[in-house]
Amino acid sequence: MIIVRGLVASLLIGAAFVRPVQAAETLKIASFSTVLTEIAQRVGGAHVTVAGLVRPGQDPHEYQPTPADLEQAADAKLILLSGKHLEHYLDKIQQATGGKAESLAVGDALPTLKMQADPDEPQAKEAADPNGMIDDPHWWNSVANVERATVIVRDTLIKLDQADRTDYEENAKTYLAKLDALNNWAKRKVAELPRDKRKLVTSHDAFQYLARDYGFKIYAIEGVSTETEPSDRHVAELIDDIKKQQVKAIFLENTLNPKVTREITSESGARIGGSLYADGLGDGDGSTYEGLVRHNISTIVDALQ
């Protein structure tokens, strides 16, 4: 009898603990963008569980979803996509989810800048206009765009979960205030650099949106990677451009052939300004969006002064 009473008591206590867990069931989100993962976490707070499928430091251009990633996507109620043709594996996601989850390509709702399509990427070729131009997918390098993306994510969360509307609005307001302060800091930091020195030479054409916001002119080093050995002519033209534009520093990613780097810097007189986070969150400073922006802006301004 004592044993039976004990069992009943245990069951009742157990039930008391189970109820709140069921009540606090969260909205499952699968994110294919490191920046959108952060936005969803900040705005969704305790009401969401976000699976960041493209991980910090991972190249979103090269990412391919694993079967485990697709399983998580199939389990989600909301799928966050970067948009602007970045996800070249959309068909796989659609196949995995059967179109059941709400799919939100945030970048597609943001103003677009155009860039030359990479002829080696079949997906980019398909999306290109008759002049070979495609939408530049690197919208997150503009703080103003990330603010717009936050509003889009907030509104979508409210649509999917009306009950927690107030929390989503409050969380978004807090995050937007931080982004606004970050943008003001960036403007003041960039203002330290005379406008005639705002010339950005990078090994990856990913900073058009940043350039538009803060008055930089971009000179992208295209077709120079560890996989391709650039021609002497290409390098010579690049060196001439750097000299003509009186650029003091160039910004490279680790994909650039070190031999080419040495040649460009020694012969142009420019120096390596540091590495930038081009494709979203990463390790170190770039583990948060605020850290990413502060790192990129400080690195650029300090090197070009």
Partner 1 sequence: MRGSPLLRAVLVVLALLALLAPLRTLTNRRSEAAPSLQQAAQSSAAKKKIRLELTSTTAPFKYQITSGGQPIWSGESDSPIAATDLELEFPPEGIDLVLDASWVEQKLTAVRLALTPQGSDTMAKTIWGTTNVSEVLTFQQEK
Q: Assess 100 for contact with partner 1 (CB under 8 A).
A: no
- Considering the complex, what minimum distance in angstroms separates the CB of residue 143 from partner 1? 14
Distance (Å, rounded) from C-alpha 135 to C-alpha 85?
7
Q: Assess 212 for contact with partner 1 (CB under 8 A).
A: no
Q: Assess 201 for contact with partner 1 (CB under 8 A).
A: no
Distance (Å, rounded) from C-alpha 200 to C-alpha 219?
6
Distance (Å, rounded) from C-alpha 150 to C-alpha 164?
16
- Considering the complex, what minimum distance in angstroms separates the CB of residue 249 from partner 1? 10
**CB closer to partner 1, 190 vs 252:** 190
Distance (Å, rounded) from C-alpha 302 to C-alpha 155?
38
Q: Assess 91 for contact with partner 1 (CB under 8 A).
A: no
Q: Assess 179 for contact with partner 1 (CB under 8 A).
A: no
Distance (Å, rounded) from C-alpha 49 to C-alpha 30?
9
Distance (Å, rounded) from C-alpha 30 to C-alpha 69?
9
Two tokens at 205? Answer: 């054409």
- The beta strands (E) that lie in 38-123 are given as 48-52, 78-81, 102-105, 114-116
Distance (Å, rounded) from C-alpha 23 to C-alpha 137?
39
Residues contacting partner 1: total by CB under 8 A: 24
Distance (Å, rounded) from C-alpha 38 to C-alpha 74?
20
Q: Assess 266 for contact with partner 1 (CB under 8 A).
A: yes
- Considering the complex, what minimum distance in angstroms separates the CB of residue 215 from partner 1? 7
Two tokens at 23? Answer: 């009540």
Q: Assess 290 for contact with partner 1 (CB under 8 A).
A: no
Q: Which residue of 267, 274, 285, 290 would you call a contact of partner 1, by CB under 8 A?
A: 267
Quick check: 204 and 187 in contact, CB under 8 A?
no
Q: Which residue of 173, 178, 188, 262 would you call a contact of partner 1, by CB under 8 A?
A: 188
Q: Which residue of 125, 195, 237, 262 would you call a contact of partner 1, by CB under 8 A?
A: 195
Q: Which residue of 91, 196, 227, 283 would you call a contact of partner 1, by CB under 8 A?
A: 196
Q: Assess 268 for contact with partner 1 (CB under 8 A).
A: yes
Dihedral angle sign, alpha carbons of residues 66, 68, 70, 76: negative
Q: Which residue of 70, 242, 256, 303 would you call a contact of partner 1, by CB under 8 A?
A: 242
**CB closer to partner 1, 288 vs 305:** 305
DSSP state of 82: -
- Considering the complex, what minimum distance in angstroms separates the CB of residue 32 from partner 1? 34
Q: Assess 236 for contact with partner 1 (CB under 8 A).
A: yes
Quick check: 83 and 108 in contact, CB under 8 A?
yes
**CB closer to partner 1, 41 vs 298:** 298
Q: Which residue of 55, 173, 243, 262 would you call a contact of partner 1, by CB under 8 A?
A: 243
Q: Residue-wise over 236-272: b if at least 16 C-beta within 10 A, else e?
A: eebbeebeeeebbbbbbbeebbeebbebbbeebebee
Q: Assess 231 for contact with partner 1 (CB under 8 A).
A: no
Q: Assess 177 for contact with partner 1 (CB under 8 A).
A: no
Distance (Å, rounded) from C-alpha 282 to C-alpha 288?
8
User: Which residue in this structure is represented by tokens 């120096």?
Assistant: 271
Q: Assess 178 for contact with partner 1 (CB under 8 A).
A: no
- Considering the complex, what minimum distance in angstroms separates the CB of residue 173 from partner 1? 19
Q: Assess 255 for contact with partner 1 (CB under 8 A).
A: no
The site for partner 1 (CB under 8 A) is made up of 184, 187-188, 190-196, 198, 215, 236, 239, 242-243, 246-248, 266-270
